Amino acid sequence: MNTSTQVRTERGSGLLSITLARPDKKNALTSEMYRALVAALELAGSEPSIHAVLLDADGADFCAGNDIVDFVALAGSGQGVESSDVFRFLRALAQFDKPLVAAVRGRAVGIGTTMLLHCDLVYVAGNARLSTPFVDLALVPEAASSLLLPARIGHVRAFALFALGETLDGHAAVDCGLANAALSAEEVAAHARAAALTLAGKPALALQATKKLMREQQRMLNAIESEGREFAQRLVSAEAQAAFRAFMTRRGPGP
Ligand code: COA
Domains of the chain: 7-187+201-251 (3.90.226.10)
**How many angstroms separate the first and last alpha carbons of the chain?**
35
pLDDT attached to residue 1: 57
Give Cα separations from 10 to 18, 38, 174 (angstroms): 7, 15, 28
| H or E element at residue 104 | strand 100-104
Tell me the three state secondary structure of residue 4.
strand
Give the tens place of pLDDT for each residue, 163-194: 999 999 999 999 999 999 999 999 999 999 99
pLDDT attached to residue 82: 85
Query: Ligand 1: does its nearest atom lie under 6 Å from the Cβ of 73?
Result: no
Query: Ligand 1: does its nearest atom lie under 6 Å from the Cβ of 66?
Result: yes
The rounded distance, in Å, linking the Cα atoms of 208 and 229 is: 30
Query: Ligand 1: does its nearest atom lie under 6 Å from the Cβ of 22?
Result: no
The rounded distance, in Å, linking the Cα atoms of 49 and 102 is: 20
Tell me the three state secondary structure of residue 102.
strand
* Range 90-105 average pLDDT: 98
Lowest mean pLDDT among 15-24, 30-39, 73-82, 224-233: 73-82
Tell me the three state secondary structure of residue 10.
strand
Q: Is the pLDDT of residue 255 over 50?
A: no
> Percent of the chain at pLDDT above 70?
97
The answer to whether the beta carbons of residues 106 and 61 sit under 8 Å apart is yes
> Ligand 1: distance of its center to the CA of 184 in Å?
23
Query: Ligand 1: does its nearest atom lie under 6 Å from the Cβ of 234?
Result: no
> Ligand 1: distance of its center to the CA of 219 in Å?
32
Q: Is the pLDDT of residue 66 over 80?
A: yes
Among protein residues, the one with the nearest Cα to ligand 1's atom 23 is 25
Confidence of residue 80 (pLDDT cuts 50, 70, 90): confident
The rounded distance, in Å, linking the Cα atoms of 11 and 118 is: 21
The answer to whether the beta carbons of residues 53 and 99 sit under 8 Å apart is yes
> Ligand 1: distance of its center to the CA of 116 in Å?
19
pLDDT attached to residue 253: 47
The rounded distance, in Å, linking the Cα atoms of 141 and 139 is: 7
Do the strands 107-109 and 129-131 form a parallel or antiparallel pair, or are they unpaired? parallel
* Range 234-240 average pLDDT: 96
Record the pTM: 0.96
Among protein residues, the one with the nearest Cα to ligand 1's atom 9 is 25
Atom of ligand 1 nearest to the CA of 247: 41
Distance of CA 35 to the CA centre of its chain: 14
Q: Is the pLDDT of residue 4 over 90?
A: no
> Ligand 1: distance of its center to the CA of 248 in Å?
9
The rounded distance, in Å, linking the Cα atoms of 158 and 114 is: 11
Confidence of residue 24 (pLDDT cuts 50, 70, 90): very high
